[in-house]
Amino acid sequence: MSKPLTDQEKRKQISVRGLAGVENVSDLKTNFNRHLHFTLVKDRNVATKRDYYFALANTVRDHLVGRWIRTQQHYYEKDPKRVYYLSLEFYMGRTLQNTMVNLALENACDEATYQLGLDMEELQDIEEDAGLGNGGLGRLAACFLDSMASLGLAAYGYGIRYEFGIFNQKIVSGWQVEEADDWLRYGNPWEKARPEYMRPVHFYGRVEHTPEGVKWVDTQVVLALPYDTPVPGYRNNIVNTMRLWSAKAPCDFNLKDFNVGGYIQAVLDRNLAENISRVLYPNDNFFEGKELRLKQEYFVVAATLQDIIRRFKASKFGSTEYVRLDLSTLPDKVAIQLNDTHPALAIPELMRILVDVEKLTWEKSWDIVVRTCAYTNHTVLPEALERWPVDLFQNLLPRHLEIIYEINRRHLERIAKLYPGDHDRLRRMSLIEEGNVKKINMAHLCIVGSHAVNGVARIHSEIIKDTVFKDFYDVDPQKFQNKTNGITPRRWLVMCNPGLAEVIAERIGEDYIRDLDQLKKLLKFVNDDAFIRDVAKVKQENKMKFAAHLEDHYKVKINPNSMFDVQVKRIHEYKRQLLNCLHIITLYNRIKREPNKSWTPRTIMIGGKAAPGYHTAKMIIKLITSIGDIVNNDPVVGDRLKVIFLENYRVTLAEKVIPAADLSEQISTAGTEASGTGNMKFMLNGALTIGTMDGANVEMAEEAGEENLFIFGMRVPDVEALDKKGYDAMSYYNRIPELKQAMDQISGGFFSPNQHDLFKDLVNMLMHHDRLELISCVITVDMHITNPKEWTKMVIHNIAGCGKFSSDRTITQYAREIWGMEPSLEKIAPSLPET
């Protein structure tokens, strides 16, 4: 019998990782050693793993540079319409492996490092995640960048280069503890500072109305220093740019007016200006109206718009002479997409530039702004909507406040003409909310200032039109669209699950990677025993690998033959990790009641971060870990039920756990999760979904067949009816014995023996402030797992139905239906011809 293949030998056989030609490998080795030498390592024996990682990263980066320059030159020659994706978050994760996948270098680099006596996977593990996002919204932006490059769009991602990204989560005695994410500590080989494009950004000051026009004077200036990161398309030689701004104090900061002896303090105070790009606000789906956050929002917008207009005027490659002076054609050459309301200030800022600086009329300027901007709404949760106090604006951005007032005046004038005497409608639709504290409703500003407004799943886009923005839909129905979210199949299949990618490629070829609809062809194989076996085998290997990872990193032993039941996402009441907890307790009680029954073993994994100021979310984490302490140490239960909290869930951990999952928990109350994208990642990687009819789950059930998901719970109309009627948790508590037992155990201290009332707030919330249904679906899932072959057939139906959920489809729709651009699958030349 032949000895089993090593990991490296297995990887070599995976064709989707690219060809390892002899020349290629030999060149890579030469370049690797050259870079190692440049890290000032005189002797290979003293090089650290990190030295090797940087050498490999720089070697791979060399392959990007020629393509990057060539792409930008290509855009200058062709002068296409450009799209600017503005986002306060880009949750990129690691870059090395993704770059190798998109450049078809994976097998060649693997072979080169292997010949040099190194293990490429070990080197990949040294890279820090770029955690510049909280969750779905930031990760969506990252997937979109990958798709825009792969579809040949002239696209730019613009955001902030946070010095500290989303915090690292430690679990200490069952509680979340935050640690700063010092991701730049060792440097970042993927970014290039571009000081030549530094831009001033103004704050504070006052407004002067003069005969020559309006002037914003006596401002404080902060400089925006851009850092560019290459974004390679999938094997088409296109490399786009993500440009992130970092805040720098000007040289004369605080020195113009310092008193004798104040020099040292003035230099120390430079930190105040530079704090703007210091740290990502760690809130997901929650608005915190802090001045520093408003500064961040204006900072990215003001720097980006200067860049957009400079590029619009300059057009010829490498030329700084302005050739386009007429800004009326801006919407023909520029599309600006606002990722939620966070970059909403782009609307008044572009107005300020056109009216005050370029001296266009208000009417002409407003026409340009509306035709250029489009807005994506990401949530209907009221606590997440941005409402900025007017006095904060008055102080920080006085000119923008005046402009917003004028936008509002004209907007309300139009509404009053359409609905004479309807004062309540004017109040509802105003950009300014009256009350104790006057506030600016940023969503209303975005709708009025954009030509397109979209939700991120069909059900969410309907809810927007029917409820939150109904008044706006009534007057401008043509503005409202749906763009169901998607994920990039490069990172979320080829890169994180090469085994499955290969099994699929063996049946239908590799083209599906750029055209995910081709997965439909797998339906031919749904009864093919060999295919069923292959799919199940890949899943089992992924489970073994993840079990080994948990043992290595967390000293946790799990049974790889159990069902991996996974809920990973930010911790939030609406995502209902608590419903999962009640289910776990119920399962535990059933096993305890009938210990001799044959139970399908389960390992339930829950992971995700809680915003540091969100007390309830932190209590939910403590409850999960406390339930784990009891369940995992009960000898009667053994390994039939285990509860694991996955610490520090992030992009890189998602790439490991998702390919190993059997069951994906998507259990938000219907009408609360705008779309979800984790749901799509699990589906693509061969897990089955247990979930509610919420967000994109609705469309997933449609694509795969509802019989191939475990759908339970109320639909949106049921939830609305229950809200009207008044939800009474007590009646459920008294009617369902298993639910009553679980609640009594939580409130009675069964899971907190040292502090019986530890979870009283959670219990109180569940009994008095929550909508709850106990899962009725668990029995169905248990039945299916006992028949592995039927389970795998359901899995194949799910994978075959994933085509719609590629971000390539999403971006194609944005391009055609919002931006007025046409995607292209053509390859360009990899680099400039030699002169």
Question: In this predicted model, what pLDDT tens digit does every residue of 213-243 receive, in sequence order?
Answer: 999 999 999 999 999 999 999 999 999 999 9
**Mean pLDDT across 293-315:** 96
470 pLDDT higher than 90: yes
The number of angstroms, rounded, from the C-alpha of 470 to the middle of its chain's C-alpha atoms is: 27
Q: Residue 552: in which H helix or E strand, if any?
A: helix 529-554
- Is 681 catalytic? The answer is yes
Q: Which pair of tokens denotes residue 478?
A: 């043509």
Which pLDDT belongs to residue 278? 98
Q: For 486-490, what is the mean pLDDT? A: 98
For the chain, list the domains and their CATH numbers. Answer: 82-91+133-162+196-486 (3.40.50.2000), 561-783 (3.40.50.2000)
The predicted structure's pLDDT at residue 12: 77
Residue type, 726: G
Active-site residue (options: 74, 352, 444, 570): 570
Report which DSSP code applies to 467: T
Query: Whole-number mean pLDDT of the chain?
Result: 93
Instruction: State the catalytic residue, choosing from 17, 248, 444, 575.
Output: 575
**Catalytic residue selected from 243, 514, 543, 681:** 681
Task: Retrieve residue 276's tokens.
Answer: 């703007």
Q: Which of 804, 600, 795, 805 is nearest to 708 (CA)?
A: 795
- Mean pLDDT on 366-389: 96
- Mean pLDDT throughout 471-478? 98
Q: What is the pLDDT of residue 781?
A: 60
Closest CA to 123 of 104, 133, 110, 136: 110
Beta strands in 323-451 (DSSP E): 334-339, 373-376, 387-389, 432-433, 439-441
Dist CA 231 CA 190 (whole Å): 10
Which of these is catalytic: 378, 399, 439, 460? 378
Q: Are 32 and 57 in contact (CB under 8 A)?
A: no
Averaged pLDDT for residues 258-278? 86
pLDDT exceeds cutoff 50 at 336: yes
* Span 343-369, average pLDDT: 98
Say whether 677 is catalytic.
yes
Residues 766 and 482: beta-carbon distance below 8 Å: no
Number of Cβ atoms within 10 Å of the Cβ of 671: 24
Q: Is 569 a catalytic residue?
A: yes
pLDDT of residue 2: 56
Q: How far apart are CA 584 and CA 517, in angstroms?
A: 37
The band of 16, judged by pLDDT with boundaries at 50, 70 and 90, is: confident
- SS3 percent helix, strand, coil of the chain, rounded to 5, is 50, 15, 35
Strands (E), 373-431: 373-376, 387-389
Residue 570 is a catalytic residue? yes
605: how many CB neighbours lie within 10 A of its CB?
24
Average pLDDT in the 400-413 region?
98
The predicted structure's pLDDT at residue 5? 66
pLDDT of 693 higher than 60? yes
Mean pLDDT for 1-27 is: 76
Helix (H) or strand (E) holding 167: none
Residue among 543, 569, 609, 640 flagged as catalytic: 569
pLDDT confidence tier of residue 830, bands split at 50, 70 and 90: confident
The model's confidence at residue 774, banded by pLDDT at 50, 70 and 90, is very low
Q: Let me know: does 233 contact 70? Beta carbons within 8 Å.
A: no
* Distance from C-alpha of 123 to C-alpha of 101, rounded to nearest angstrom: 16
Q: Of these residues, 71, 677, 689, 810, which one is catalytic?
A: 677
Structure tokens belonging to residue 483: 């763009």
Would the pLDDT of 264 be above 50?
yes
Question: What gap in Å lies between CA 90 and CA 130, rounded to an integer?
Answer: 8
- Say if residues 673 and 575 touch (Cβ distance below 8 Å): yes
- What's the mean pLDDT in 634-644? 96
